[in-house]
Amino acid sequence: MKIFLDTADVAEIREYAASGLVDGVTTNPSLAAKTGKDYVESLKEICALVPGPISAEVLATDFDGMMAQAKIFQKIAPNIAIKVPLTWDGLKACRALTDGGAQVNVTLCFSAVQAMMAAKAGAAFISPFIGRLDDIGEDGMTLIRDIRAIYDNYGFKTEVLAASIRSVSHVLHCALAGADVATIPTAIFKKLLDHTLTDKGLAAFIADAKKANVTIKG
């Protein structure tokens, strides 16, 4: 499963991209606002740090406005993916942009039928928001499994990009359900390697080495 970072913080992206474990980034104007930097300028920096898809979200809700903003984003770098909402105008823009050679991430997906329609519109990515479904008492992981089944049934190439990730458990279950991508806040990304036994084991190895005066000489 690919891992994207869900942030517009350039410093964080630079730090974690250096690990070689970051396959892409998803952003939106709300995340950019938290950094205090211009959104387009932030996108330029992010695209230079991560060669994989960088989702840039339009603010417009009408077709013409989405297309105009998409043109601005496309000038930034070839790895930009245009993020549009799952509305009629959004899917119309998705089809037009895809036909023009752009990658499109269709966001705010909350049902498998919506995901099917986005795939038919040519989306490169569909973003189901599992955490927000959990918030209203529904099972977000069921949505991931349903989308995976539909896409596999009909050979849709759209990648399932699990969004609204709230925990390491979400990441695990997205991988088990067959999500192609999980986009993860940096706070969750930092926890992916955490385990008490790993920490205890490392401490024991170091202590044993010190007691035995083990050194590694070149």
Question: Could you give the CA distance from residue 114 to residue 133 in angstroms, rounded to a whole number?
Answer: 14
Question: Quick check: is 83 catalytic?
Answer: yes
Q: Give the Cβ contact number of residue 187 at 10 Å.
A: 9
Query: What is the 3 state secondary structure string of 98-134?
Result: HHCCCEEEEEEECCHHHHHHHHHCCCCEEEEEHHHHH
Question: Could you give the CA distance from residue 128 to residue 177 in angstroms, rounded to a whole number?
Answer: 13
Q: Which of 44, 83, 92, 120 is catalytic?
A: 83
Question: Could you give the CA distance from residue 50 to residue 172 in angstroms, rounded to a whole number?
Answer: 24
32 burial via Cβ count (<10 Å: 0-12, 13-18, 19+): buried
The tokens of 107 are what?
């966001």
Query: What is the 3 state secondary structure string of 165-211?
Result: CCCHHHHHHHHHHCCCEEEECHHHHCCCCCCHHHHHHHHHHHHHHHH
Q: Which residues does the annotation mark as catalytic?
A: 83
